Amino acid sequence: MNNITTIGVLTSGGDAPGMNAAIRAVTRAGICNGFKIKGIYKGFDGLINDEIKDFTTENVSGIIMSGGTILKTARSLEFMTPEGRKKAYENVKKHEIGALIVIGGNGSLRGAMEFGKEYDVRCIGLPGTIDNDLYGTDSTIGYDTTLNTIVECVDRIRDTAQSHERIFFVEVMGRDAGFLAQNSAIASGAEAAIIPEDRTDVDQLGHFMERGIRKSKRSCIVIVSESPKCGALYYADRVRKEFPGYDVRVTILGHLQRGGRPSAHDRILASRTGVSAVEAIIQGQRNIMIGVKNNEIDYIPLVEAIRSDKPFDRKLIKVLDELSI
Ligand code: F6P
């Protein structure tokens, strides 16, 4: 088992449903394989401020079904500085942590990578983000649950949109990635999706309005990826000015997308990747993320996982286009 005796686990960045299932998997698989487990609270801030507790199997019982993260989370600014990481390493030494499992998204895995390069601690990432924007894994922990939450909300919005014959712009999360928007649009039968992957190519609203809201369709739903400048409010304003005559409403789903019971898919993904993270530590791996590609566990170097260009299947645009006539 090489010379590592203790594994630290933390969640970082935006919480995602399934993070608790991942904490449970890491803790239980670690204990099964003879490691001591340290739960680190509030992400990297907890590593810096020594908010670290011994974890037993009891700490993680009854949590697989709950959203959020029992370890709490944070986006640590201090950890982005060399001084912050130095303080964090003092606590790593104090608690004899030989390997650190970081459950989080892009920024969190970047932090883990820097830390693993600077100090003698094996950093292993688990893909925990609703955005699904990590390279090298088909899906991230939390993405499937969020997709289902959005679809449920849109089904409800559809009822009122049809009753009043309105255009609804529904804004969803995803940061710079359109996976949530495009796939929730397909799954909810929405008429269009406005996504960052298409932003520079075409005026997506113009395209949608010109192609025509079908005559018989007096109501429609457009899913819009969040964006500081071009979110749902921006498009609703444009329709009011450029296409008067339509009754327009906006719903910004916001943080309700991040909460709730994780889906079976996310619980299984979290459990598989958590167990594999412990296996990877036993094998002597470092600076990798555990992903699942084509239903097989895969090790992806952290430097690859955080690439900003996870492939977006453009055929999904055609699927929605053809099915929304
Ligand atoms: O990365 C997850 C995410 O939910 C993004 O989709 C969103 O842009 C961001 O976090 C919101 O962050 P916060 O909870 O800090 O407002």
Decide: helix, strand or coil at residue 177. Answer: coil
- CB–CB of 270/118 below 8 Å? no
For ligand 1, mutation pick of 130, 146, 257 (most atoms within 8 Å of CB): 130
Q: Please check whether residues 107 and 198 belong to one and the same domain.
A: no
Query: Quick check: 20 pLDDT over 80?
Result: yes
**From 15, 45, 54, 131, the catalytic residue:** 131
- Summarize pLDDT for 238-261 with one digit per residue, the tens: 999 998 889 999 999 999 999 999
Q: Which two tokens stand for residue 184?
A: 């929730």
For ligand 1, mutation pick of 75, 149, 173, 223 (most atoms within 8 Å of CB): 173
Q: Please check whether residues 172 and 112 belong to one and the same domain.
A: no
Query: Quick check: 204 pLDDT over 80?
Result: yes
- Summarize pLDDT for 49-93 with one digit per residue, the tens: 999 999 999 999 999 999 999 999 999 999 999 999 999 999 999
Query: Quick check: 1 pLDDT over 70?
Result: no
Q: Which residue has the higher pLDDT, 205 or 114?
A: 114
Q: What is the mean pLDDT of residues 144-169?
A: 97
Q: Please check whether residues 124 and 198 belong to one and the same domain.
A: no
Ligand 1 atom closest to Cα of 106?
A: 1
In the residue annotation, 131 being an active-site residue is answered as: yes
- CB–CB of 128/18 below 8 Å? yes
What residue owns the CA closest to ligand 1's atom 7? 175
Distance 175 CA to ligand 1 centre (A): 7
Q: Work out how many domains the chain is built from and give that number.
A: 2
Q: Please check whether residues 124 and 240 belong to one and the same domain.
A: no
Whether residue 287 lies inside any domain: the answer is yes
d(CA 141, CA 70): 15
d(CA 305, CA 199): 24
Beta bridge partners, 103, equal: 11, 126
Q: What is the mean pLDDT of residues 7-25?
A: 98
- CB–CB of 290/297 below 8 Å? yes
Q: What is the mean pLDDT of residues 188-209?
A: 85
Count Cβ atoms below 10 Å from residue 54 Cβ, excluding itself. Answer: 11
Distance 45 CA to ligand 1 centre (A): 18
Q: Which of 224, 242, 258 is the last residue of a domain?
A: 258
First to last CA, the chain: 58
Q: What is the mean pLDDT of residues 31-43?
A: 98
Q: Please check whether residues 268 and 133 belong to one and the same domain.
A: yes
Q: Please check whether residues 79 and 13 belong to one and the same domain.
A: yes
- CB–CB of 271/25 below 8 Å? yes
| CA atoms within 13 A of residue 136's CA, in its CB half-sphere | 21
Q: Please check whether residues 163 and 118 belong to one and the same domain.
A: no
Q: Please check whether residues 293 and 232 belong to one and the same domain.
A: no
Query: Quick check: 168 pLDDT over 90?
Result: yes
Q: For the domain that residue 99 is a member of, what is the CATH number?
A: 3.40.50.450
Count Cβ atoms below 10 Å from residue 267 Cβ, excluding itself. Answer: 23
Q: Which two tokens stand for residue 310?
A: 């996870």
Q: Please check whether residues 281 and 301 belong to one and the same domain.
A: yes
Q: Please check whether residues 254 and 296 belong to one and the same domain.
A: no
Q: Give yes or no for residue 17 CB within 6 A of ligand 1.
A: no
Q: Which residue has the higher pLDDT, 178 or 219?
A: 178
Q: What is the mean pLDDT of residues 39-54?
A: 98
Burial class (CB in 10 A: 0-12, 13-18, 19+), 321: middle
Ligand 1 atom closest to Cα of 105?
A: 1
Whether residue 315 lies inside any domain: the answer is no
Q: Which of 198, 224, 258 is the last residue of a domain?
A: 258
d(CA 55, CA 88): 19
Alpha helices in the chain (DSSP H): 19-32, 43-48, 82-94, 106-118, 143-164, 179-188, 204-211, 232-242, 264-283, 302-305, 315-323
pLDDT given at position 212: 65
Distance 252 CA to ligand 1 centre (A): 13
Q: Please check whether residues 296 and 202 belong to one and the same domain.
A: no
Q: What is the mean pLDDT of residues 275-301?
A: 98
Domain that holds residue 212: 143-258
Q: Please check whether residues 103 and 130 belong to one and the same domain.
A: yes
pLDDT band, very low/low/confident/very high, at 276 (cuts 50, 70, 90):
very high
- CB–CB of 12/123 below 8 Å? no
Per the prediction, the chain carries an average pLDDT of 95
Q: Give yes or no for residue 175 CB within 6 A of ligand 1.
A: yes
pLDDT given at position 23: 99
| CA atoms within 13 A of residue 254's CA, in its CB half-sphere | 3
Q: Which of 197, 226, 258 is the last residue of a domain?
A: 258
Q: For the domain that residue 252 is a member of, what is the CATH number?
A: 3.40.50.460
What residue owns the CA closest to ligand 1's atom 10? 14
pLDDT given at position 216: 59
* Spatial CA neighbour of 130 closest among 116, 117, 140: 140
Query: Quick check: 199 pLDDT over 80?
Result: no
d(CA 260, CA 190): 23
d(CA 125, CA 140): 11
Whether residue 178 lies inside any domain: the answer is yes
Q: Which residue has the higher pLDDT, 210 or 195?
A: 195
